[in-house]
Amino acid sequence: MIKENVRRLMDELPEGVSLVAAAKTRTPGEVLEAIDAGVEIIGHNYVQEAQAGFDLIGPRAKLHMIGHLQTNKVKKAVELFDMVETLDSTKLAKGLDRAAGNSGKKIEVLIEINSGEEPQKAGVMPAEALSFVKQISGLENISIKGLMTMGPYAGDPEDARPYFVKTKKIFDLIAESRVPGVEMTWLSMGMSNSYRVAVEEGANLVRVGTLLFGERRQG
């Protein structure tokens, strides 16, 4: 089933749009089945979950951190992940920069935008995004590659469109500002219920789990 789901979705996605298979609660076997079907990027919400399957999965796909990253996990995150999609604070940026420097590597990051402007949720507020990017752009061991936003988890996919439109405007603003060392390459938006709308609004990275793996287990 997973292979068929992956192939169906990849056939549907326009050229230039990449798929992140969101692997929260999935077994390494399920993830490997998705990789066998052509998935090249696996998204994990937790450092420990990525670590559990790293020996099997890590060599065969790129790993993205798509959940909230705690500052006390940055060292392990730098070891495991090719990209952190959820950078949202100066403290976290400096922690990643320091850990990457100590590991002799450069870690790619996306800036998470709190497009709903909800105080209880993670992400940089839209009005602060450009100044935040400028503030951390000088860190030598992180490479800013674009933006990410969550949008609503469920409900009518059209309800997510304003959040995606807002994030794309911020993406374009930062790109036009030509901040030294910053590349607006990736716009990560949309999940299983909203990826089609996200692609319509400019996403070129979509994070899909349930449509690939079936309903998520509790955990």
Burial class (CB in 10 A: 0-12, 13-18, 19+), 93: buried
Average of per-residue pLDDT across 27-32: 94
pTM across the whole model = 0.95
Q: What is the pLDDT of residues 136-176, one digit of tens each?
A: 999 999 999 999 998 766 678 999 999 999 999 999 999 99
Reading the block at residue 29, the tokens are 């076997």
User: Looking at the domain that runs over 2-213, which CATH code has it been given?
Assistant: 3.20.20.10
